[in-house]
Amino acid sequence: MSSEYKEDYGTASGIAILVSCIGWLAIVGGCIVAFTLPGSGGDKFFLIAGALVIGLSFIASGQMMRAIIDNTNANKEILHILKSKPCCDTFATDSQLD
């Protein structure tokens, strides 16, 4: 076992970043399209509102994925640290508990 901990789930982290980027592109793209289209304000409002809802949903999904991945990596690092320590030094045995 190596002494250095290496983070895992690189592909999943990349997918989470991609999902968040798609959300930002949806928001920015929806606003650009809404402001460049001729027409009444009502149509533009619904286009911007739709882009915001879809974009923020993607951004939130990407952030939740990143939070889960970071939490999993932190737990794996803690497990790695605990496994690298000598066993049974800090735990009481059955005879010590009697």
DSSP assignment of 13-56 equals HHHHHHHHHHHHHHHHHHHHHHHHS-S-HHHHHHHHHHHHHHHH
The proportion of the chain whose per-residue pLDDT surpasses 70, expressed as a percent, equals: 85
Residue numbers of the domain that contains 72: 11-78
- Tell me if 17 is assigned to some domain: yes
- Tell me if 35 is assigned to some domain: yes
**What's the total number of domains in the chain?**
1
The tens digit of pLDDT for each residue in 24-55 reads: 999 999 989 888 888 777 778 888 899 999 99
Across 5-22, average pLDDT: 91
The tens digit of pLDDT for each residue in 48-58 reads: 899 999 999 99
- Tell me if 5 is assigned to some domain: no
Its pTM stands at: 0.75
Q: How high is the pLDDT of residue 80?
A: 86
Between the CA of residue 60 and those of 17, 34, 50, 65, 69, what are the distances in Å?
11, 23, 15, 9, 14
- Tell me if 34 is assigned to some domain: yes
- Tell me if 83 is assigned to some domain: no
Q: Report d(CA 73, CA 63) in Å as an integer.
A: 15
- Tell me if 28 is assigned to some domain: yes
